[in-house]
Structures are given as structure tokens and as C-alpha cells.
Amino acid sequence: MPFVLDRPRSQEKVGESLMFIEDIKLTNYRNYSNLTMSFENKVNVILGENAQGKTNVMESIYVLAMAKSHRTSNDKDLIRWDEEYGKIEGRLQKRNGPLSLQLVISKKGKKAKSNHLEQPRLSQYIGNMNIVMFAPEDLNLVKGSPGIRRRFIDMEIGQVSAIYLYDLNQFNKILQQRNHYLKQLQTKKQHDKTMLEVYTSQLIEVASKIVVKRYEFLKLLQNWAEPIHHGISRGLETLKIQYNPSIDVSEDIELSKMVEVYEEKFAKIREREIERGVTLAGPHRDDLSFFVNGRDVQTFGSQGQQRTTALSLKLAEIELIQSEIGEYPILLLDDVLSELDDYRQSHLLNTIQGKVQTFVTTTSVEGINHETLKQAATYNVTEGEMTKLK
């Protein structure tokens, strides 16, 4: 059964690299007052010393796709110093023809346009352009905090399911209201628990949908990641992904049963939540575990195993998105090649060669001896100025 229920699956042949950015234009974005740059439908290498602006270009592509940064939660950071707004415009080629995207970021919020039509909700805008980002912080996917892993799941499902993104936004709003009310009960500013029951009921309805969707997604991710990991580890390792919910459920549970389990859980922890002034169960408390040959990689895995797991997950994302929407996503490799050893570098570059439009930022390509990079389009960034070298 296809994972995505809110979009038609494509019959496009696997392997056709159809989605790519033709050009991007930045206005008052980070350290760029104005930048217009065209890219090629292959590997694009962006060279530059640190703090010159190469990662800002990479980030702008990410923000154009996801309407948020992977580096900061404060949108004001994206606007050039002393300016009122920042703007990112991009022109894509997709299976169904050209597509223009525009995102304006101001102190009042964000406005998004797709083919010059303003989008009423960002959840309707996200998914027009699909990307997979692999940055040094993604190597912390395995050993980092649960929040990093939850963000990984939410960002990837959100790209292929507008319904999931909508449900997630609803959940976060209700969670905020419920936490606020719990805090008021904790400090005795409120005494009526009826309103808490209303918020709890609303939270359970959306939380159940989110967890069901996460289970479905992770099952698909497992199917793609396991053979990829097996290949990178030269057939020596088997990767298993495990979802760890904050309630006692499994992946086979039906939505109605999950609602019941949540209701029982919240009834049991209600007094503790009032005492603490915070919601103690829900998707915002869930986590992932990764097992290699039956051992928890976070606790017992070597750094090499942790990196292989992170790389396998990212390569699996590329294939999963292609299987869902019918075209490959755009790949962003932000200063990550230097973090991988020669073997993992080669595996990554062999996998994407001739298949995915890729952007690579690095201070130098010396020491990376691979045909993919020799044939790449190359750009240089110095003090917020970007020029094409070849």
C-alpha cells in the first residue's frame, strides 16, 4: 500500500533525474544583498573559506524548499542586517514542467508563492521542491538528542505528505495551549479541569494520526535503508530502525485503539502533569533507536558505525522520496564530505552520480579523488560574492 494518501503516485521510470534548480535569486538574504546564480543539473560544487557565505547559499535552497532553516529557528536571522525583509526566488524544472517559487521573510512572518500564486498556508507550499540535506550535524542523528531524530522524521514526512504537515502544525498549537493551561493549574491561576479535558481530547486525536503516519514512514525507510547499509558495510552489518513511542503501542495498532491507549495514559498521568505543568506524553516525547547486528548503535556503536547509519538513512531518504513522488529530490551536502572517510565518500558519490542534482559546499576538493567531482560545475564564494569557475 502506498504511504502517501494525499498525493498520486507517479508512474515515472526510476532513475530519471527530473527535478532540478535552474537558478536562484537572493535579495537581502544573510550576507547577500543581491545574488542571481544559475546551476547545472548535475553536481554543483561551491568552494570558499569559512564565513564567506557558501553555507548561506546552501541554506537558502533549503529554506526555499522547507520554508524554514536547518540552522536557526529565528527567521529574523535570515534577513540581511538592517533590512526589512529577505527574499529567495528559485526556478525549477520538474516532471510536469517549470515551476517558480518565491519566499519572502519579514518581521511580520513569511509569504510563499508557487508559480506567482500566493499560498494560503505554508503546509500547502512545502513539497513543491523536495530536498535531502546532509550536513555535519546530521552525523549526530544517531548519537544526538531525541529532538534531532524527531525533527528528521517530521521534515521528511512533511515533504511527501501535506496532511502530515498540517496535523503536525495542529498538534504543536494544541500542545502549546495545553501546556499553558497545565502551567495555570500548577500555579493555581486556574482550578477548572474541564478545559484540560478538552485540550487532552484534541491532542489525542491529532497525536494518534501523527504516530500512525510515523510508523508507516519508518517501515518504508527501513526497507530502503537496510540494503543500503548492508552494501556500505560490505555485507557485514544489518541495520534495524525502531520507533520508541511514549505510550505502549506497536506499529500494527489501529488508529481507534491508539486513541484508547492515549486516553488511558493521560488519565493515569494527569495529576503528575499538573504538578509538573507540562504535557508528558505524545509525539513530542517519542524517539528512534538504530540497531546494527542487534546492538544499539547509539550506546555500543563505533563512530564509523554511527556515520554509516547516518549515511544510510540519508541515501534511503533519496530513494524513498523518489518512490513516493516519482522524481528524485535535490541533494544538499554541506561541508560533509570532509567528515567522511574515503570509502564512505566514494559510496555516497557513486550512489548520486548522474542521478540527483547535488550541491556540495567545501573549503577544498583536494584529496577527494572522484570522477563525479571532476565533472562538476564549480563556483567560488568570497565575502558574499559568488562566481562560476567552470
Whichever domain contains 335, its CATH number is: 3.40.50.300
Q: How many residues does the chain have?
A: 390
Q: Tell me: do 188 and 289 sit in the same domain.
A: yes
52 labelled binding-site residue: yes
- Ranges of the chain whose pLDDT falls below 70: 1-17
Give the end of a domain, one of 272, 294, 326: 326
Indicate the number of domains in the chain: 2
Verify that 208 and 169 share a domain, yes or no.
yes
pLDDT for the residue 384:
85
Beta-strand relationship, 385-388 and 295-296: unpaired
Model pLDDT, residue 17? 52
Other Cβ atoms less than 10 A from the Cβ of 45: the count is: 23
Q: Is residue 228 in a domain?
A: yes
Confirm or deny that 55 is annotated as ligand binding. yes
Domain span at residue 171? Answer: 144-326
**251 and 322 belong to one structural domain:** yes
Any idea what DSSP says for residue 35? Answer: E
Task: Report whether 371 belongs to an annotated binding site.
Answer: no
Are the C-beta atoms of residues 47 and 66 closer than 8 Å to each other?
A: no
Clarify whether residues 152 and 265 are in a common domain. Answer: yes
- Give the model confidence (pLDDT) of 111-163 as tens digits: 999 999 999 988 889 999 999 999 888 888 999 999 999 999 998 999 889 89
Q: Does residue 345 share a domain with residue 283? A: no
Answer yes or no: do 29 and 79 share one domain.
yes
Answer yes or no: do 279 and 390 share one domain: no
* In a shared domain, residues 218 and 274: yes
**Which pLDDT score is estimated for 259?**
95
389 in helix, strand or coil? coil
User: In this structure, what C-alpha cell is assigned to residue 67?
Assistant: 520554508
Is-above-0.95 flag for pTM?
Answer: no
Cβ atoms of 219 and 251 closer than 8 Å: yes
97 is in an annotated binding site: no
**Residue 33 backbone dihedrals phi, psi, to 5 degrees:** -80, -45
Is 48 annotated for ligand binding? yes
| Domain presence at residue 77 | yes
Would you say 107 is a known binding-site residue? no
Co-location of 296 and 377 in the same domain: no
3 domain-assigned: no
| 372 annotated to a ligand binding site | no
Is 354 assigned a ligand-binding role in the annotation?
Answer: no
Q: What would the pLDDT profile of 268-309 be if each residue is shown by its tens digit?
A: 999 999 999 999 999 999 999 999 999 999 999 998 899 999
CATH of the domain at 269: 1.20.1050.90
Q: Residue 4 domain-assigned?
A: no
Cβ neighbours of 347 (radius 10 Å) = 17
135 found inside a domain: no
